[in-house]
């Protein structure tokens, strides 16, 4: 209930220098006066907003006229910040208590707040209130959780840009254009004697095409946005003893995978997350692919092929010190059939070479990236990292110039809006009645409104905010 006062620990529930307890709602100030006393024992004066107060949290709520000496034991020495709505994160009266960051202490301060009249906030409820009170639109609210969960600098910058309203601004401008054109058509249909539609189709066509281009750029950014947000699913494949686990260990910078001279050491997938040059790779080291009668190893091979099918990037590690065999050709045939983004690593270039780049290139698409490396001696790893970055991201991400859609929900709405505008354009080109224009224009307008949170149902809002952490 938005009329209730809520509270939660806003920092991580782990030992730290400072812990923050956030209180939001109509009773926030009254609760603060019950549990907080200044150093001289007086009740804080909270008429001035955005002011920091130094004092103590009492172990139990007290009446306003009762000093800290007579009201009970002092619980903690704190700083307290008061923010009057609507000039706060939630748009409501808000209190934030900075206490010592021990887990027990944060819980005890929160318990005191709850006993004084607040209830425990649900996950994401502070941000949900910010949305319901008009402080954030839904795309900005989604960006909040993306900022918290960002795995790399690119994802962080994209999320911060969206939080600042970069996507919202684009969407609002598109909606304004669509609404103006729709209003003009409706007005002309209602009052044809005074409002002329002659020549309007040309203007409408220009507006629609320009809006389509804007939406097209946002839609095309969604794949990069997904990779920034979730990371690039990367499968390392190869025959046994080709050096897959050695490569994983080099990229990780630690001995995570077991490496031996015995073929088939890795029998199951091993998953790790790696950050390379601001690119997050969700790495899967797989079992060596070969024909085998071993039941356990067979399962490992099937899992390796499944990981490769589901990957955004496949790194094929070939042992260049021995000739290609049936296992290599099976892998190469698989890669050719799947048409995955692939990097071929001719490993063990510190030994005499038995496999050439030309030999591999004859079996795979011409533009396949092929590199010569030595995982054992860490040769060629820097070039591998550079090629991965170039393969997935073009140009550099900035706060002002690049917008990225990171939400599947937003992409779906953009695609539907673009389809509606395509209908408008086709209707104009076919010379159809203006009634058809306005229907599809409003469909596009409505779909774009879903991105901002207009006309969305309560279940969707609850689902989005349920993914937030407690205290946010």
Q: Are strands 341-347 and 313-319 parallel, antiparallel or unpaired?
A: parallel
Q: What confidence score (pLDDT) does residue 21 get?
A: 97
Q: What confidence score (pLDDT) does residue 187 get?
A: 86
Q: What angle do CA 232, 237, 243 make, to 5 degrees?
A: 110
Q: What confidence score (pLDDT) does residue 261 get?
A: 46
How many Å apart are CA 249 and CA 264, to the nearest integer?
A: 17
Q: What confidence score (pLDDT) does residue 264 get?
A: 46
Strands of 90-134, DSSP E: 94-101, 119-120
Q: Are strands 16-24 and 36-38 parallel, antiparallel or unpaired?
A: unpaired
**What is the token pair recorded at 10?**
């806003």
Q: What confidence score (pLDDT) does residue 109 get?
A: 95
pTM value is: 0.71
**What is the token pair recorded at 134?**
């008009």
Q: What confidence score (pLDDT) does residue 394 get?
A: 53
Beta bridge partner(s), residue 120: 7
**What is the token pair recorded at 414?**
């953009």
Instruction: With beta carbons less than 8 A apart as the criterion, state whether 27 and 117 touch.
Output: yes
Query: pLDDT per residue over 210-223, tens digit each?
Result: 999 999 999 988 87
Q: What confidence score (pLDDT) does residue 64 get?
A: 55
Find the length of the chain. Answer: 472
Q: What confidence score (pLDDT) does residue 448 get?
A: 94
**How far is CA 248 from each of CA 256, 257, 275, 332, 461, rounded to the nearest angstrom?**
8, 7, 12, 21, 40
**Average pLDDT along the chain, 472 residues, taken 10 residues at a time:** 87 91 96 93 92 92 55 85 95 96 95 95 92 90 82 77 85 94 85 76 91 92 80 88 86 60 49 81 81 70 84 90 88 85 90 86 87 89 87 51 77 94 91 82 93 79 77 76
Please, what are the domains in the chain? 6-135 (3.30.1360.120), 141-221+404-452 (1.20.120.430), 230-392 (3.40.50.300)
Give the helix ranges, DSSP H, for 402-469.
408-429, 434-452, 458-465
Q: What confidence score (pLDDT) does residue 286 get?
A: 79
How many Å apart are CA 196 and CA 186, to the nearest integer?
A: 11
Q: What confidence score (pLDDT) does residue 254 get?
A: 63
Q: What confidence score (pLDDT) does residue 297 get?
A: 67
Residue in 470, 458, 447, 466 with CA at minimum distance from that of residue 142: 466
Q: What confidence score (pLDDT) does residue 267 get?
A: 42
Q: Sign of the C-alpha dihedral, residues 66, 71, 76, 82?
A: negative
Q: Residue 388 — φ and ψ, nearest 5°? A: -60, -45
Query: pLDDT per residue over 238-279, tens digit each?
Result: 888 888 888 888 888 766 544 444 444 444 457 888 887 777
């Amino acid at each position: 209930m938005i009329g209730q006062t809520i509270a939660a620990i806003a920092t991580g529930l782990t030992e730290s220098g400072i812990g923050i307890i956030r209180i939001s709602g109509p009773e926030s100030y009254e609760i603060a006066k019950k549990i907080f006393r200044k150093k001289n024992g007086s009740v804080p004066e909270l008429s001035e907003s955005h002011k920091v107060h130094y004092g103590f949290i009492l172990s139990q709520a007290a009446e306003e006229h009762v000093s800290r000496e007579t009201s009970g034991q002092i619980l903690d020495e704190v700083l307290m910040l008061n923010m009057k709505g609507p000039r706060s994160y939630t748009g409501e009266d808000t209190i934030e208590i900075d206490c010592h960051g021990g887990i027990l202490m944060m819980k005890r301060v929160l318990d005191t707040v709850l006993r004084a009249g607040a209830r425990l906030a649900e996950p994401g409820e502070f941000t949900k209130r910010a949305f319901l009170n008009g402080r954030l639109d839904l795309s900005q609210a989604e960006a909040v959780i993306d900022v918290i969960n960002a795995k790399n600098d690119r994802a962080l910058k994209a999320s911060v840009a969206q939080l600042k309203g970069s996507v919202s601004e684009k969407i609002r401008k598109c909606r304004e254009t669509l609404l103006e054109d729709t209003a003009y058509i409706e007005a002309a249909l209602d009052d044809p004697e005074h409002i002329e539609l002659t020549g309007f189709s040309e203007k409408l066509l220009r507006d629609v095409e320009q809006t389509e281009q804007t939406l097209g750029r946002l839609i095309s950014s969604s794949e990069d946005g997904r990779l920034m947000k979730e990371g690039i699913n990367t499968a390392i494949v190869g025959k046994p003893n080709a050096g897959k686990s050695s490569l994983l260990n080099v990229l990780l910078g630690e001995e995570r995978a077991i490496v031996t001279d015995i073929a088939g050491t890795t029998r199951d997938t091993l998953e790790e997350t790696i950050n390379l040059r601001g690119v997050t790779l969700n790495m899967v080291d797989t079992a060596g692919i070969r024909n085998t009668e071993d039941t356990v190893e067979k399962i490992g091979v099937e899992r390796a092929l499944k990981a490769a099918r589901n990957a955004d990037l496949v790194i094929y590690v070939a042992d260049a010190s021995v000739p290609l065999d049936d296992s290599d050709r099976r892998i190469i045939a698989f890669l050719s059939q799947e048409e995955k983004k692939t990097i071929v690593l001719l490993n063990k270039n510190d030994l005499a070479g038995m496999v050439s780049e030309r030999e591999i290139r004859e079996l795979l698409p011409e533009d396949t990236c092929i590199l010569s490396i030595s995982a054992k001696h860490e040769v060629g790893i820097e070039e591998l990292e550079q090629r991965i970055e170039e393969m997935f991201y073009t140009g550099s991400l900035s706060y002002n110039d690049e917008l990225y859609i990171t939400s599947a929900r937003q992409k779906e709405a953009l695609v539907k809006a673009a389809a509606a505008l395509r209908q408008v354009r086709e209707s104009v080109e076919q010379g159809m009645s203006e009634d058809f224009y306005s229907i599809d224009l409003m469909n596009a307008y409505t779909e774009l409104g879903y991105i901002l949170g207009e006309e969305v149902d309560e279940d969707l809002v609850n689902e989005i905010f349920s993914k937030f952490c407690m205290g946010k």
